[in-house]
Structure 1
C-alpha cells in the first residue's frame, strides 16, 4: 500500500470557506460496517450513533495565536509561525518558528513587530528558526498574534473575529497547538450534555497539533 493510493481530487468549490451557522449542524458521514453502507448525517445525530457506556475521547489542546506579522530592518515583510515556546529559561521569550519572507534573515537579524517589540534570530536548522523576543512569547501572541487557519481557508487579511471564536473547540484548555483539532469543532455544550445523559462516557487528552498538519503530504513511488 502506498500513500498515493489515498490521493483524490477535491474541487475548490466544494471546500467550505465558512462554518455552518451552528456547530452541531455540520455534516457527518457515518460508515455502517454491518450494512457496508455510507450514511449522510448531521453532527448532532451522534447521539443516535453512539451507545450507552461508549467512551468518547476528546483533545483539549487549545490553539495559540501563533501567526505574527513583522518586518526586517531592511523593510522586508516577514510572516512568523510560532511552532514551540522554549521553556529552558524562566522568561519564556524564546521560540522555534517558521518564517515566510522573500529572503530568509541571517543570524543576528532583528524582526520588528512594533516600536517596542522585536525578535532576534539566534540560529537556523533547516526550515526552523530560533527566535528570542524582548518580551514573553505568550505576551507577544496575545498582543500581536493571529489564529493560524488551514491553507485551504482563504482569508486575504487573516483570521476574522468570527474565525477566532469558531476555530477553537468549546472544551479547549491547554495552550499549545498551532492548528485546532478540527474533529472536535462541532461539539456544543448542549450536545455534550445529551451524550452524558445517554451515559456515553467522556474523556480528555492533550495532543498539541504542530505545523506538520499544514505541510503537503509526499510519497515515494516504487
Structure 2
C-alpha cells in the first residue's frame, strides 16, 4: 500500500505535552465497526466482560538519553537496543564527525567508546561498565527519553520520570513507554479485578526506532525496527486457556499486540517467546490472537497508524481520527486513548 494512504492533518495543539491527572481520567474513544462512543478510561471495566483477559507490557523505561562531550564538542545519544552487557546501539546527535574509537564522556567517571558507526546517526557504544553498574550510571546521569514531539527546552523533568512509566513497570530495558498502559491506576486495576477481567503480562522492550519516520513511498519497502520480547510458558498457557474458554484477549498497547501476534501460530495458539521481533502489520494482515486493542492516537504515516488500520479497518480509523480531532481528543504518548474492536471475526 502507499504510505500516503495513512496520512492525515493533525493540528499542533492536539498533541499532549502532559498526561491527564489522574491517569484514568483521560478520554477513551470506543471504536466499534458500526459506532463510536466518547467515554473515559475509568469506564473500561464496563466495556469488557468477565472472562476477558487484558495483556499488559511490563517493560520499564530506563533513562536512556545521555548528554556528554567528545573532546570539547557537545553530543547527545539515545540508547535504543542492547547488544551485550556493556554495549548498546544508540542514535547520536550530531553524528557526522564521530568515528570508531572516539571516546564520549558523560561524567567524570562515566564514558563510552564508539565501537562502530552505522547509518542515519546510529552508533554502537561500548560503555566502561555493564549490567547493573551501567543501569546505576544511567539512573544518575541519564534522562527519560521523551518522544521528539513532546517539547521540553531543558529535557525531561522530574514529573516525566513518574508520568512516563506505567504503574506496573517491572522489567528494565525500554527506551520508550508502552503508552496505552500509562492510563492505568491501582484503583482501575482493582476495578478490573472486581469485574472478573483477567490480567497477564509479557515484556517487549520498546526501542527508539518506534519514533523513526517511514521514508519510503510503499509499505512493502519499509524495514521495521527490531525489539526484544519475552512471553513465559506459564503466561502463554494461561492466555491459551482463556481463548479456549471463549474469553477475549485484550492487548494493552500495540507493543503487547505485536508480541502476541509474533508468538502465535496460524491456528491461533500462543507459544512461549524469548527473542526479537520485527513484525510489521499493515492492512491485509490476519490477526490470530488479539480481539480488542487499547491504544493511544498515533502519528500520521506511522507504522502504528498502519497497525491500527489493519486491526479496525482503514476507513473506520480515518473516521475515528477525524472525530477525535474534531472533538478535542489529545494525541500521542501523553494523550487520550481508544479501545478498538477487531474488524474480522475469529477463525
User: TM over 0.5, yes or no?
Assistant: yes
Cα distance in structure 2, aligned partners of 1:167 and 1:104: 32
Cα distance in structure 2, aligned partners of 1:114 and 1:96: 20
Is the aligned partner of 1:129 residue 2:123?
Answer: yes
Cα RMSD of the aligned pairs, angstroms, is 1.6
1:197 positional shift: 0.7
Partner of 2:51: 53
Partner of 2:37: 39
Cα distance in structure 2, aligned partners of 1:102 and 1:54: 48
SS of aligned partner of 1:53: coil
SS of aligned partner of 1:163: helix
Partner of 2:22: 22
1:221 positional shift: 5.2
Is the aligned partner of 1:189 residue 2:189?
Answer: no
SS of aligned partner of 2:205: coil
- Deviation readout 1:38-74 (Å, 9 max, x if unpaired): 111110100111111111111101111100001111x
SS of aligned partner of 1:107: coil
- Structure 2 residue corresponding to 1:148, chosen from 141, 145, 160: 145
Alignment of 1:1-222 (within 5 A): 1-33=1-33, 36-73=34-71, 75-87=72-84, 92-101=85-94, 103-126=96-119, 127-136=121-130, 137-220=134-217
Residues 205 and 181 of structure 1: is their aligned pair in 2 closer, same or farther, counting only changes over 3 Å? same
1:175 positional shift: 0.9
Cα distance in structure 2, aligned partners of 1:170 and 1:131: 30
Stretch moving more, 123-132 or 173-182: 123-132
SS of aligned partner of 2:183: coil
1:93 positional shift: 2.3
Cα distance in structure 2, aligned partners of 1:17 and 1:208: 23
SS of aligned partner of 2:188: helix
Aligned length: 215
Residues 125 and 219 of structure 1: is their aligned pair in 2 closer, same or farther, counting only changes over 3 Å? closer
- Structure 1: runs of 5 or more not aligned: none
1:210 positional shift: 0.9
Cα distance in structure 2, aligned partners of 1:140 and 1:214: 25
SS of aligned partner of 2:4: helix
1:218 positional shift: 3.1
Cα distance in structure 2, aligned partners of 1:124 and 1:140: 23
- Deviation readout 1:126-182 (Å, 9 max, x if unpaired): 243121222333232121111111111111111111111011001111111110000
Q: What TM-score comes out, normalization by structure 1 length?
A: 0.91
2:80–2:209 Cα contact (<8 Å) kept? no
- Structure 2: runs of 5 or more not aligned: 220-347
1:53–1:199 Cα contact (<8 Å) kept? yes
1:84–1:95 Cα contact (<8 Å) kept? yes
Cα distance in structure 2, aligned partners of 1:162 and 1:168: 10
- Deviation readout 1:16-41 (Å, 9 max, x if unpaired): 111112100011000133xx111111
